[in-house]
Amino acid sequence: MPPKPKLNVHSFPRPPLLEKTPRHLQIKWHDQIIADTKDAYWVLETTHPPTYYLPPTSLTLPLLRSPHTSFCEWKGRATYWNIESPSPPTTTSNKETITNRIWSYESPTKGFEAIRDYLSFYAGPWDCFVDGEKVEPQPGDFYGGWVTSDIEGRVKGGPGTWGW
C-alpha cells in the first residue's frame, strides 16, 4: 500500500471546509470499541489538524446532555455531552463519567448543516484511531483536532499560538 499523502495544515482553508471523509474512525475505551464508522465528516481549517464528526448511530454507549455550551464562529452553538465509561472487563463497578469531551451542533450554520447532531470527540480519555492509527490530540485543551502521521506543519493550540 503506498504511503498516505501528507496533509499540510497551512494549506487548509479559512473559513474551514466540511466534507465527507472515507477514513475509518474508531474510538476505544477500556479496550472496548465505543464508536466505529466509515461514514464521517471532517472539518479542515488553517493551522488545525482535522476535526472529525461521527454519526450518532456509530456510538455504542448512551450520552447525557451537559449544560455546557460553546460557540464557534463558523459552525454556531455547540452542545456538549457526558458519557459513562463501559465497565472494565474485570469488574462491573468503577465506572466513571466523563463530562464535556464530546460535542455536537444541533442547529449548525449554513454550510455545516450536514453535521447536525454528528458527534465530535476530544482525543482522550479514550483512544481515537484513524485508519487503525492511534491519534495524538491537538495541543492545548480548547480545540479538538486529531493529529495523525500524515499531518504536517505547526498546529494551533499550543503555547504562543492563541492569536494565530
Contact, 14 vs 45, CB < 8 A?
yes
What does the DSSP assignment read for 12-25?
S-SS-EEEEE---E
| Amino acid 93: pLDDT | 63
Does the domain at 7-152 match CATH 2.170.150.40? Answer given as yes
Tens digit of each residue's pLDDT (9 = 90 or more) over 97-155: 999 999 999 999 999 999 999 999 999 999 999 999 999 999 998 899 999 999 999 99
| Amino acid 150: pLDDT | 96
- DSSP letter at 38 equals S
| Structural domain boundaries in the chain | 7-152
Tens digit of each residue's pLDDT (9 = 90 or more) over 20-48: 999 999 999 998 999 999 999 999 999 99
| Whole-prediction pTM | 0.93
Average pLDDT over residues 44-59: 97
What is the 3-state secondary structure of 52-100? EEECHHHECCCEEEEEEEEEECCCEEEEEEEEECCCCCCCCCCCCEEEE
